[in-house]
Amino acid sequence: MTTTGRPAPTPQDTPLALTDTLPPVTVTDLEIGLPDGPTLLHSTSLSLCAGQITALTGPSGSGKTTLLRAIIGDLPQGAQVTSGSVEALGQDVFTLTPDALRTLRRHRIAYVGQDPGSALNPRMNARRLIAEVATDPSPEAVAALMTECLLPDGLAHHRPGALSGGQQRRLALARALARQPDVLLLDEPTAGLDTALRDEIAGLLRHLATHRGIAIILACHDPHVVEACADTVTTLSAPTTAAPARGGPPRRADRPQAPGPATSPTDGLRAEGLQVAFTHKGHTHRALQDANFHAPAGTSTGIIGPSGCGKTTLLRTLAGLRSMDAGTLTWNGRPLPANARKRNRDQQRRIQLVPQNPLGALNPARTIGASLARPMQLHRTVSKSEMPERVRELLDDVGLPGDFARRYPHELSGGQRQRASIARALATEPDLLLCDEVTSALDPATATAVMELLTDLRTQRRLTLVLVSHELDLVTAYTDTIHLLHEGRVHPAERREGIAAAEVR
């Protein structure tokens, strides 16, 4: 673990009196592990300061999420503190009663996890979700919080299911701020956001620290965000149990080799005239309007656009997981049912979605090995006796050790869960992968390795890739064509300059 810092703010930068107070949070020689298992967090010490931002960096699996959760006394299931302590607002977190912990989390320390959408009640709209926890639940105060967190007024009546991943993340931040906390814990707060929103969120965090005096700690892989807003940077040590992610073609000799390039315009997945709208209490949001899209067989296609423009909705519609109001889908020139449940087993096997939230693909009650074996059983891609070896191959393909097959999702970091989610999608030996921000929670080295892996799979098996991402370097480096989703329609984007301009609209 290493810690670096920037010069202390000057007096004119700090309108609140931030000195002569005890640190809101002090972590001393904290180490956390699983009984008879791996160390989840190696010995770490740090102190948070009111009005300052601490960034946690380090490779996937180094313990960033574990440390954030430890500050609120929420250890992963089965994990134990093997050494050290955490003091939050003058209290030893690990000795607090359950009631005292709930009070601390409800009123003094706010935590926004890597998958904030899972903590949002799907039956409540955005306005109610903020008012539910706000110290001031008045409509004016709620509207001000939405504006502060860059949420348009028109989303106030929308439920979480009608929001993009980036909008859900900002809504969760607004809920956290509504409690007027002393300490704010954020896990990858800018993951899945376009460049303009990323910079605005970084500026918002800087404003919250400086003008509200909040102590902020964020786990972040994005060096631009860290540089823009962090006062202190703590880099956690690389995990000793995780194998380095590697690219490389699949090793199974019986996998088919890639045929020649596609020549038929009907090959691959085609969508025409897609229309998808979300309606709640008379308020309608049109996510897709007469959208046309074609992913030719064996190609890699990127989809970009500002946060909330409908990219995830498009992927879920193509996967048959989001109903559409109008439009048609075809697969290799043949009609493809819009609802995944109405597709035959072969169609279901061939088209797989890797969601932005890996927990959506991994059953928390099953081990990683069981989650990977389940699609093999359903689609009978390998015999029962071959499954253990195939699970090990899939884990190795995405850079995870074979013994991760015995772990549960909560025992993995966010980046490790994302790689396991990719492995699960590959278990059916699909022809098309729909990838929704699959690298947003990964450190740069792992993100590149995952894209190299997908590229090798594409070459080896003529795999078709559709990649949604805000990471323009990855999109331009690993796709053949790029499309811009804007105002519900899909447009070709031929130049990088045009992509950059579209991201800030």
Do both 309 and 399 map to the same domain?
yes
Average pLDDT over residues 122-127: 94
Structure-block tokens of residue 419: 């790689």
Neighbours of 423 (CB within 10 A): 25
User: 409-434: per-residue pLDDT in tens?
Assistant: 888 877 788 889 999 999 999 999 99
Q: Is the dihedral of CA 418, 419, 422, 423 positive or negative?
A: negative
pTM of the full predicted structure?
A: 0.76
Do both 224 and 293 map to the same domain?
no
Say yes or no to pLDDT of 381 above 90.
no
User: 334-350: per-residue pLDDT in tens?
Assistant: 999 999 999 999 999 99
Asked, for residue 431, whether it belongs to a domain, the answer is yes
Structure-block tokens of residue 431: 């022809």
Do both 178 and 320 map to the same domain?
no
Do both 109 and 189 map to the same domain?
yes
Q: What residue ranges in 347-461 does DSSP mark as E strands?
A: 351-354, 432-436
Do both 188 and 111 map to the same domain?
yes
Asked, for residue 260, whether it belongs to a domain, the answer is no
DSSP 95: G
Average pLDDT over residues 34-53: 91
Do both 30 and 172 map to the same domain?
yes
Do both 207 and 335 map to the same domain?
no
Do both 226 and 297 map to the same domain?
no
Long-range contacts of 136-145 (CB under 8 A, 24+ apart): 136/178, 141/178, 142/178, 145/174, 145/177, 145/178
Do both 179 and 312 map to the same domain?
no
Asked, for residue 68, whether it belongs to a domain, the answer is yes
Among 124-138, 233-247, 363-377, 389-403, the minimum mean pLDDT is found in 233-247
Angle, in degrees to the nearest 10, between helices 165-178 and 139-148: 130
Asked, for residue 87, whether it belongs to a domain, the answer is yes
Do both 226 and 325 map to the same domain?
no
Asked, for residue 19, whether it belongs to a domain, the answer is no
Average pLDDT over residues 107-117: 89
Structure-block tokens of residue 443: 């450190």
Please enumerate in sequence order all residues whose Cβ is within 8 A of that of 142, keeping only pairs 6 or more positions apart, or say none. 127, 130, 131, 134, 156, 178
Asked, for residue 227, whether it belongs to a domain, the answer is yes
> Hunting for tokens 């989390």 — which residue is that?
105
| CATH number where 45 lies | 3.40.50.300
Cα–Cα distance list, 266 to 32, 440, 450, 459 (Å): 54, 32, 29, 20
Neighbours of 505 (CB within 10 A): 12
The answer to whether residues 206 and 13 touch, using CB atoms and an 8 Å cutoff, is no
Determine phi and psi for 414, rounding to 5 degrees: -60, -45
The answer to whether residues 358 and 421 touch, using CB atoms and an 8 Å cutoff, is yes
Domain boundary residue, one of 199, 218, 235: 235
Distance of CA 7 to the CA centre of its chain: 32
> Hunting for tokens 């609802």 — which residue is that?
339
pLDDT score at 5 = 67
Alpha carbons 142 and 475: distance in angstroms, whole number: 37
pLDDT score at 436 = 93
Torsion of CA 277, 151, 115, 212, to 10 degrees: -170
Do both 309 and 228 map to the same domain?
no
Asked, for residue 170, whether it belongs to a domain, the answer is yes
pLDDT score at 101 = 95
Do both 291 and 436 map to the same domain?
yes
**Domain that includes residue 390, residue range:** 286-501
Asked, for residue 390, whether it belongs to a domain, the answer is yes
- State how many domains the chain has: 2
